[in-house]
Amino acid sequence: MSGGEDTTQRVLHELDAAEALARGGEPDAAIAAYIELVPRVERAFPHDRLVLAGALDRFSAALSTAGRFDEMTEAQERAIRVAEGAGRTAEDLARMRISLGDRLRDNGRLDAAIRAYARAAETAEPETGTAHPAVVEAGIGMAECAADLGRHGDALHSYRWVVPAARRALGDAAEPTRRAEAGMRASASVRRRRIAAVAGAVLIAVIVGAVLWEQFA
């Protein structure tokens, strides 16, 4: 075996070891390993950029577990750029953006997660159409994050295209379809109650104003 091949195998082995650290609940040790490994991956695999994209994706996951959100986003965005340059499909790139959205969402960064999901949908939709599992997944993520932020109007805006797309792509009985339908009903209910509350408050204000006018006229 040549020295170059030996280096390649060693780097792959150490990538597996870093992943094992991350899965074993040692994100800081995994992060330290990835920081040292990423430049070596670039040197060892100059003609296979997908190995680098995969390493950066796993590095991003470890950073997410450690709560290092800005670095996590930077690593994942770089992974996406590398994967795109290596010829990955729009669907693959969209799923990498969905992973970014999921990591941001899991750490409470809901606005940033919505942006990641929106870019995922925008990436895939021109190639796959709206009725595609990746686009549906991104749309559900956008809607659920908006609902979690109390922005039920925004959530309904997403659900109104996601639900029909999910039915076409996955079928009425699929779990994502049912989840989207339930989310749309919940957001619609909250929005109706809010509108009714505002209308009630306006009516009360009008009545009070009329009474006061009668008294002081």
Q: What are the tens digits of pLDDT across the range 86-109?
A: 999 999 999 999 999 999 999 999
pLDDT at residue 181 tops 70: yes
Q: Which amino acid is at 61?
A: A
Q: What are the tens digits of pLDDT across the range 131-172?
A: 999 999 999 999 999 999 999 999 999 999 999 999 999 999
Enclosing domain of residue 196: 89-217
Which of residues 38, 53, 88 is at a domain's end? 88
| Residue 207: predicted pLDDT | 60
Are residues 146 and 73 both part of a single domain? no
Which of residues 47, 68, 88 is at a domain's end? 88
pLDDT at residue 211 tops 90: no
| Residue 7: predicted pLDDT | 85
Our count of domains for the chain comes to 2
Cα dihedral 208, 209, 214, 217, rounded to 10, equals 150
Are residues 200 and 210 both part of a single domain? yes
pLDDT at residue 197 tops 70: no
- Note the pTM of the prediction, 2 decimals: 0.81
The CATH number assigned to the domain holding 158 equals: 1.25.40.10
Are residues 145 and 210 both part of a single domain? yes
Mean of the per-residue pLDDT values of the chain: 89
Are residues 43 and 62 both part of a single domain? yes
